[in-house]
Amino acid sequence: MATHAKLSPSSAVRWLSCPAAPLMERGKPNTANSYAAEGTAAHHLADQCLSFGYSPSDKVSKVLAVSSKGIGFFKHDQPNKKDIAFEYEVDQDMADYVQEYIDLIDNIMAAAKAEGFFEQALPLESITGEKGATGTADAVLITDKEIIVIDLKYGQGNQVDAERNPQLMMYGLAALNEFDVLAEIESVRLIISQPRRQHVSEWTISADELKAWGETVSNTAKLIDSLDETSDLTDLFAPSEDACRYCKASAECKAYAEHVHRTVCADFEDLDAPLTVDDAKYDGDTLAKMFERIGLIKEWIKAVEQATVDKLYAGESVGDFKLVQSRGGRRKWLDEEQAEATLKAMRLKVDDMYNKKLISPTDAEKLKKAGTLGDIQWNKLQDLIVKPAGNPTIAPGSDKREAIITNPVEMFDDLTEA
Ligand code: SF4
């Protein structure tokens, strides 16, 4: 019988780099959150559209209900409403983002003349040794010589790239094991679609190299399988931003806490050395080393904050800290219809009662998609649309965007002329 994998592709970035993590996480509950449920809703919408040929826009205003038993479109007469953990009304934004993912798949399938399998369960037992374990790939496309694995990332937080991405490599390897008998597969293409970040990342690996990588995965899985509560994990911990971000043990992992402590306190050249403020050199190399560690420290702070909130909610004591009510959001009408009727009864002018706002280019584009604006009208609007440049942001050297060229001398000249 197929079972959800303990050594799953989605957590491979963690257990492959930190083999101590599965034992540390054992017995800790999954903490579902609204972002994860939103992602589940987007994946279900995409799957329904790809499998049954709907357009995502057809499902706008329909409610997806996420429960412990799975996900489906909400029916008002459905039993067991109490089981529902989250509900999502599909809005036009979700429909547009899912449409981008579907367009990407359609284009690749047409160009590669590929056959597509969606929400495809793939056996993992031959990779991790875990009996009956499967993982579900969002989309697997098969051609004569190539397997293409496409993963929808609905989050807009961290940008995710395909190159050497352990989750996609595991799906690719599992697909290779499953479909290699049907065709002579030479390469596996891994694609991440992250429509809310306007990001598509693609990387290709040869079938042979992927199989060789699979050997190291199997060896790590065997090592993890051999561990129990009596094992010495000291040399297996490997804290890193990617590994620790979603680790269920992150708030109580000594190795992670010590690593953050050393990172913050050390002089950024020798992590085991004591703090030597006098020697601190804030040159470019030192700043780069410090900057690289910001993500790791931020994730640790989030984990500690969440664990503190969880303990306080559970009524446990955390030193002198307590939960208090925050200032709350902006004031709003308790019942808009009642407020509107009351204001009307006060004979307020329409202009005083309502705010009128011009629609945005995004709203206009929705009108174009809905057929309210025609092609000619939409084209006329193009010259009126600008996209302001974003603020400068720091990116690693591998980022594909052009570096902003700054010239401090010219900037200085401008200031002296003013
Ligand atoms: S918090 Fe990080 S170092 Fe600790 S077990 Fe989890 S992944 Fe490993």
330 vs 142, more confident: 142
Q: Cα–Cα distance between 165 and 169 in angstroms, integer?
A: 6
What secondary structure does DSSP assign to 183-210, as a single string? S---EEEEEEEEGGGTEEEEEEEEHHHH
| Predicted confidence band of residue 412 (pLDDT cuts 50, 70, 90) | very low
Nearest CA to ligand 1 atom 7: 244
Q: Cα–chain-centroid distance for residue 22?
A: 21
Domain boundary assignment for the chain: 3-225, 250-313
Name the pLDDT band for 289 (thresholds 50, 70, 90): confident
Tell me the per-residue pLDDT of 22-48, one tens digit each, with 9 for 90 and over: 999 998 877 656 667 788 889 999 999
Query: Could you give the CA distance from residue 358 to residue 370 in angstroms, rounded to a whole number?
Result: 18
243 CA: nearest ligand 1 atom: 7
Any atom of ligand 1 within 6 Å of the Cβ of 88: no
pLDDT for 89? 86
**Is the CB of 173 within 6 Å of ligand 1?**
no
Q: In ligand 1, which atom is closest to the CA atom of 253? A: 4
Report which listed range, 74-78, 98-102, 294-298, 307-311, is most confident. Answer: 98-102
Per residue in 311-363, pLDDT tens? 898 899 999 999 888 777 789 899 999 999 999 999 999 989 999 889 989 88
When pLDDT is cut at 50, 70 and 90, the band that residue 101 belongs to is very high
Please determine, for residue 67, whether its predicted confidence score (pLDDT) is greater than 80: no
Q: In sequence order, what are the residues at sequence separation of 6 or more whose Cβ sits closer than 8 angstroms to the Cβ of residue 317?
A: 311
Instruction: Identify the residue with better confidence: 417 or 355.
Output: 355
Note the pLDDT of residue 275.
47
Distance (angstroms) between ligand 1 centre and the Cα of 253 equals 6
Buried b (16+ CB within 10 A) or exposed e, 13-28: bbbbbbbbbbbbbeee
> What pLDDT does residue 416 have?
45
Q: Is 303 in the pocket of ligand 1 (CB under 6 A)?
A: no
Q: Is the CB of 5 under 6 A from ligand 1?
A: no
Could you report the per-residue pLDDT of 260-281, keeping only the tens digit for each? 888 776 544 554 555 454 455 5
Q: What is the amino acid identity at position 352? A: D
Tokens of 227: 């561990």
Segment holding 335, helix H or strand E: none
**pLDDT score recorded for residue 418:** 39
* Residue 165: pLDDT band with limits 50, 70, 90: very high
Cβ(325)–Cβ(334) below 8 Å: no
Q: How confident is the model at residue 409 (pLDDT cuts 50, 70, 90)?
A: low
| pLDDT range class, residue 396, cuts 50, 70, 90 | confident
Distance from Cα 14 to the centre of ligand 1, integer Å? 8
Atom of ligand 1 minimally distant from the CA of 303: 1
Query: In the numeric block, which tokens belong to residue 124?
Result: 């993992």
The residue count for the chain: 418
247 C-alpha to center of ligand 1: Å?
6
Fold of 3-225: Lambda Exonuclease; Chain A (3.90.320)
Query: Is pLDDT of 296 > 60?
Result: yes
Which residue puts its alpha carbon closest to atom 4 of ligand 1?
A: 253
Q: Residue 193: which of 235, 121, 139 has the closest Cα?
A: 139
Strand 146-152 relative to strand 187-194, pairing: parallel
What are residue 116's DSSP bridge partners?
Answer: 141
Residue 34: its pLDDT value, please?
Answer: 63
Is 414 a residue whose pLDDT tops 60? no
- Residue 250, pLDDT > 60, answer yes
246-266 average pLDDT score? 85
Give the chain's mean pLDDT. Answer: 86
